[in-house]
Amino acid sequence: MIKITLKDGSVREVENGSSVLDAAKSISEGLARAAYCGKINGKVVDLRTILNEDCELEICTFDTEEGKDAVRHSISHVLAAAVKRLYPNAKIAIGPAIANGFYYDFDVEKAFTAEDLDKIEAEMKKIIKENPQIEKFELPRSEAVELMKDEPYKVELINDLGEDEIISFYKMGDFTDLCAGPHVLSLKNIKAIKLLRTAGAYWKGDEKNKMLSRIYGTAFLKKADLDAYLEALEEAKKRDHNKLGRELGIFTTDEKVGQGLPLFMPKGAKLFQTLQRWIEDEEEKRGYVLTKTPFMSKNDLFVASGHWSHYKDGMFVLGDEEKDTEVMALRPMTCPFQFTVYNAEQHSYRDLPIRYAETSTLFRKEASGEMHGLTRVRQFTLSEGHIICTPEQVESEFREVIDLINYVMETLGIAEDISYRFSKWDPKDTEKYINNPEAWEATQNQMRTILDHLNIDYVEAEGEAAFYGPKLDIQSKNVHGKEDTIITVQIDFALGERLGMSYIDKDGEKKIPFVIHRSSIGCYERTIATLIEKYAGAFPTWMSPVQAKVLPLSDKYAEYADEVVSTLRRNGVRVEVDHRTEKIGYKIREARLERVPYILVVGEKEAANNEVSVRSRKNDDEGAMALDAFVDRITTEIANKER
């Protein structure tokens, strides 16, 4: 007998050699029927997995993320089986579960159409109804290659596996696929599937490789849950910043300008400016000093900082190292520039901490297939900052950074939508990082202690650190459920020494300072995308590009309308007037579609009494109000950054 410790802490005994499914049955037949995979000592496994030693065991139903992934991964194989039935010449690539669904990539002569998806989905439902037996088996490398000899992408994946890797397959009726699993035991409980869309995707995400055809889908156990998800998806499409941002005149793109290079239109530029002025003023209140540094540098600077060896592929390089005596590069980050500013003078411990801030225009060579709207771009603007401090000041400065970030997130109204990730190095991938295991361990322990002192609820992620130190990533999900990093805070143990930074300690000795890399609002482009989706374009008044719109009932009241506009502008309100000879109902509808917080209608009565007739997003028609009273109301709302 072996002992298994369950999620609730209770301990049960099962026979050595029992499967995870057997263990689930020993707990409850109902649990076994609802189980789709398990977790042994934190590792997700198949229900077929054999237990042969004492362990911690969790049984995963569809209510868990792991259970959902097992179901959806299995349905991705059903998708591949259906495609192979309908298009025998298609070559299969990969088909993982993802947030809220799955996808599978295929090499086909012609990209899939909407009509193709309908045919494939019907074939998938047929396979599910057939409920073929699902079996797992393993093969040595040579036999695995032979089995997959007609599937070049699978052969490549097999050859990429390490010598000690187990090469496993899942057979589903007449379809066999290379896969580590886990997969469900049966398809019979999966009652609701939907193929959602197609897209192009480079093999292995590398634009140098062939473009494959990707099919996205999702799966649920119940039709009602699928219907609710599809309804939410339609709502998400309405909020998608890439669509809504263009409709509202926030930004546009143009093929002649290039991918990943959005152009902010007047309304978007005003929103951008409003956020930037607020952040720069707030940072100044908190003791930050501004720098203004070049957009490019000789590569010597990036060689010294280590970015050249760790980051060069993601940089726009101007010149050829083999041909040119001077090679330049557009900056992907500002840190080595601000450190150079620091090194222009000798500093004492009494000068520290020094908090540098800069609204930085940065450039990163994103792959063309990765770019999307404002969230993945090649040129972006970061509220970048670096704090140079003594070791004793690290925790208090880190705490102040988190306080600033929390204030910014609360004011923007997205604090409830964020999560925290403690990103660590991967000691098995030393080429990706500065290889100093002792420094990594010490700095990571220091950051973990600080985070625990701050009572931050975080998850740990190995392999997500910057090359020079661990970081705290503030994560936010977009309307489609994809998680992006919007802000990072990093503790850097390496670049100070690499770039010759120092300060004179109280004992008169030269010491290397610690550096905290941080942002406050993150990348403005990505944050604006988040705000468009959060508010569906109906921004709080303080950040709205147009805060009020004045609509005269007719030309007779145009002069008074202009007086109202002048009064509001003198008081710092962003206002427009609509002098078109359209019916007032039409003009009101248009202003509403533009998500303007306040619509001010003026006619004979309003002009005679120095009033405005107020329609607000919150309360609709509020009736007439003295102009002075409205000015007090809106300026107070703006000053307090009310939401």
Cα–Cα dist 305/492, whole Å: 12
- What phi and psi, each to the nearest 5 degrees, are found at residue 104? -140, 140
Cα–Cα dist 362/284, whole Å: 22
> Annotated binding residue at 517?
yes
Beta carbons within 10 angstroms of residue 339's beta carbon: 24
In SS3 terms, 95-108 reads as: CCEECCEEEEEEEC
Tokens of 480: 């489609």
Contact 473, 488 (CB under 8 A): yes
Cα–Cα dist 191/66, whole Å: 19
Is 270 exposed, middle or buried, given 0-12, 13-18 or 19+ CB atoms closer than 10 A? middle
- DSSP-based three-state secondary structure for 516: strand
Element (H, E) at 424: strand 418-424
DSSP 350-386: GG--EEEEEEEEEE----GGG-BTTTB-SEEEEEEEE
The residue to which tokens 């259906």 are assigned: 82
Of the candidates 601, 368, 418, 619, the residue with the CA atom closest to the CA atom of residue 522: 418
Of the candidates 402, 358, 355, the residue with the CA atom closest to the CA atom of residue 382: 358
The residue to which tokens 């093969």 are assigned: 139
Beta carbons within 10 angstroms of residue 398's beta carbon: 24
Of the candidates 25, 32, 136, 15, the residue with the CA atom closest to the CA atom of residue 74: 136
- DSSP-based three-state secondary structure for 61: strand
The residue to which tokens 């003023």 are assigned: 281
> Annotated binding residue at 77?
no
> Annotated binding residue at 335?
yes
Tokens of 188: 């019979």
Left, alpha or beta for 616 (phi > 0: left; psi -120 to 50: alpha)? Answer: beta
Of the candidates 32, 30, 38, the residue with the CA atom closest to the CA atom of residue 6: 38
Per the annotation, binding residues are 335, 386, 517
Per the annotation, binding residues for Zn(2+) are 335, 386, 517
